[in-house]
Amino acid sequence: MLSRIDLSVSFGGLRLNNPVMVASGTFGYGEEFSSFFDLKELGAIVTKTITLKPRLGNPLPRTCETPSGMLNSIGLENPGINVFLEKKLPFLGKLGVPVIVSVASEGDPDEFAMLGEILQKVLQVSAVELNISCPNVKHKTDSGKLISQDPKATYLAIKSVRGVFKRPLITKLSPNVSDISEIALAAEEAGSDAVSLINTLTGMSIDIKTRKPKIAKVVAGLSGPAIRPVAVRMVWEVFQKVKIPIIGMGGIMDTQDALEFILAGASAVSVGTANFINPSAAAEIIRGIEAYLRENKILVMKQLIGALKI
């Protein structure tokens, strides 16, 4: 009989019981999904992105369905860091699951360091994910690019947070670049403990009856199965260039999708858009990965990471 399967993975000193997380912005603050499955099953929970001050987000309409995916331009609507710590974090902190807080700036990159300094004092926070790649807000560099589209700006943003936040630091990268490996290397050099990729691809959709964009802000972020081949390719490219762990995401709907990312080099995966369609998707994927390892007589999760045969 095969011994117990070890699904655990680690990065930056943070240990996850299994490699399946839920992606920021698709799982709220956890409570909404607690009636569907035991949240303690998750490897980690990544919160909806938090900013220093409350944000109302972008005007409606801000979501629409597309072939094999969806467009969203939520604009990081959130109650701000103070309300999050007071009203949202207590529930998450009692679960016994690593809580990774996603943070973003509203224009001033210094806000990342301010948020990092605040969260360093909060023991329930296991790690921070720097969302420097959301295409639906204005946190851009002087050149008009997102921080994650500029290696130097990426380096400086991470370095500023690394100086004040001593726990694991993850950086979420944008696919809307010519070479994502270049940005990943800058993140690694600046002290990021891991990189998560990919955020949404920019896209748009038009209502041919009204001849108007289906999204009020015109351009939005594309997610779902439509972007998965791009995401898997980018994980594979980055895996060959950096030494820090990769968290893969982008259109993961089931176990097979998750395994593609892991074989390409991801140490962990994040389930996003699938949560809107099947609220129990992440739990099902955890069980599916364990079954795959057992079937293939693999005892340790780490043996599967980057095991792609070329």
What does the block give as tokens for 55?
A: 């944000």
47 vs 14: CA distance, rounded Å: 16
Span 121-139, pLDDT tens digits = 999 999 999 999 887 665 5
Whether the per-residue pLDDT at 141 is higher than 70: the answer is no
Confidence class for position 4, pLDDT limits 50, 70, 90? confident
From 70, 104, 127, 134, active-site residue: 134
Tokens 């979420």 identify what position?
Answer: 172
Span 47-60, pLDDT tens digits = 999 999 999 999 99
Question: What confidence score (pLDDT) does residue 140 get?
Answer: 52
User: Which H helix or E strand runs over 291?
Assistant: helix 281-295
The DSSP symbol for 160 reads: H
φ/ψ (deg, to 5) at 200? -70, 150
The top-level CATH class assigned to 9-57+75-202+223-304 is alpha beta
Question: What confidence score (pLDDT) does residue 18 get?
Answer: 98
User: Which H helix or E strand runs over 235?
Assistant: helix 228-239
158 vs 172: CA distance, rounded Å: 11
Span 215-259, pLDDT tens digits = 999 999 999 999 999 999 999 999 999 999 999 999 999 999 999
Task: Judge whether 134 counts as a catalytic residue.
Answer: yes
What does the block give as tokens for 63?
A: 């979501």
Whether the per-residue pLDDT at 142 is higher than 60: the answer is no
What average pLDDT score do residues 185-196 get?
Answer: 98
